[in-house]
Chain A
């Protein structure tokens, strides 16, 4: 398995819209394994193919505490949603950035599994929020898009500054101002 490189905001490739998967074969499954490995290594609970610059409709998740219940959704589609509630989200493409955001409380989705077979599932709580977050990535959408223009600008500046410091060898995280 290979650990892939996660794109970071404001990389324009995060804005690409992903294309539907037409065939679920061993090559795709290999990619899914790499995507899962990348997510686990980064302590993420979800990762979309878009975030590693592969523009196919694939997301992987694992919200279990034991980190041993991976979930793969290929061509996920939202069937229904219910209610709305606040939560706090972070994103592997926006290191160190967290913000409060409102999402549907309960959703029902359909997708293909790792074996190419279609299934439907209900999701709520952290899993529900995570699926919505990752499905947004496939549309080229990031959670900061729900925030105000001002906040987004501040976040972009902060991440660019940190990236610059990182490339010059400084430990940017230690000095990053809290938002």
Chain B
């Protein structure tokens, strides 16, 4: 038997899986939609993304209405409530229809025992909504749907702007494209988009970046299949500046998947002597090949651990190394709202050790006079400035490349004494960190 699958029940199952197993929402959605009618897909996507985006606000609302801790509820019950609260915020369905649907969803699933509780708590919310909402709006963390630990981290690192960063992380991200300028100029491509009925504008400070007025399916973009454009956030597109690529260089992309920055490098400097893309996850490496193939770009792609180069490195040093290190991703939450549900403070505290290890290992592969660019898509000092500071302390032969020597850096971000921190929302970009080191 297959349980009656409604957009609401499929969404609740997907959200519950993210909560329970820490998988990405996209992975959970893919699984939940197996065998479901394809006409349900758009509403399942919008309901589950809405629930995940608002999840920590929804938890705070429930915390005000329940006598027991929210965390004592089953994952599925929390997910059903979060989907319903999103629908109430969204105001597209009548209030009592939303409540009834949540009760029906519970009854038709494993959460049947909680249908009474779901009914009671949602009805109570409708009665007390004004005062509950006012109270939630007065506290920055739940207001911007951030978990308390995340708000605490932001406040510790950004004591003045932490609420602004929470708000920026809660906003919708624009869709940025990178134009392959060997196939079209940005102004030509903007004109092509306009002809296709898509409004877009150039970002003059990054000469290959375009931002769309509203997100689109990539298949609607002219020339997408031929590699004329790729989807890539503005912050990520800035990688070419600190690298300062030039013909004849040997370049390593040490944590390459999914290959957006690999493709950018190959596109920016077609006459590299060699471009090697390494990633530890063979599964995600297929994404790198896909990205390169679509744009008809070439690179050596290796499934290997950048932290253990003995197993794969041929002994010839690199002129340029890009270390786009695994990180907490707190700079890209507006694009990946599920990060807030999937990461915990203890996960984040383990990252600097890994980042330092990768930095030390890849440093050995760098030519004297070469450049290593350290990148993360996060905002925590512990993963950015502190990693670079600790590395410089123990490596006398390493020195910082000042931002003035970053070829054409568009002036984004702020100097923390070591690198540049782009904050989410600045110039419409995601939050990224860049630091460049050279070997003497």
Contact = CB atoms under 8 A, between A and B. Distances in A.
Interface of A: 41-47, 63-66, 87-92, 95-96, 98, 125-126, 129-130, 133-134, 143, 171, 173-174, 176, 178
B341 to A, nearest CB: 16
Interface of B: 1-5, 13, 16, 20, 31-32, 34-39, 74-76, 107-113
Contacts of B38: 171, 173-174
9 pairs of A and B residues whose beta carbons are closest in the complex = A88-B4, A90-B2, A65-B76, A65-B110, A133-B1, A46-B1, A125-B112, A173-B38, A43-B34
Contacts, number: 79
A171 B348 CA distance: 43
A134 B1 contact: yes
25 contacts: A42-B2, A42-B34, A43-B2, A43-B32, A44-B1, A45-B1, A63-B3, A65-B109, A65-B111, A66-B20, A66-B75, A87-B107, A89-B3, A90-B3, A92-B1, A92-B35, A96-B37, A125-B112, A125-B113, A126-B108, A129-B1, A133-B1, A174-B38, A176-B39, A178-B39
Contacts of A91: 1-2
A42 B35 contact: yes
B301 to A, nearest CB: 30
Contacts of B35: 42-44, 92, 95
Nearest to A98: B4
A129 B16 CA distance: 23
Nearest to A124: B112
Nearest to B77: A65
Given A65-B109, A134-B1, A174-B39, 12 more contacts: A44-B35, A46-B1, A47-B1, A65-B13, A87-B108, A89-B1, A89-B4, A90-B2, A95-B35, A98-B4, A125-B112, A176-B39
B74 A45 contact: no
Contacts of A133: 1
B34 A88 contact: no
Contacts of B39: 173-174, 176, 178
Contacts of A95: 35
A46 B31 CA distance: 17
B34 A41 contact: yes
Contacts of A65: 13, 16, 74-76, 109-111
A35 to B, nearest CB: 13
Contacts of B75: 65-66
A126 B34 contact: no
A96 B4 CA distance: 10
Nearest to A133: B1
Nearest to A88: B4
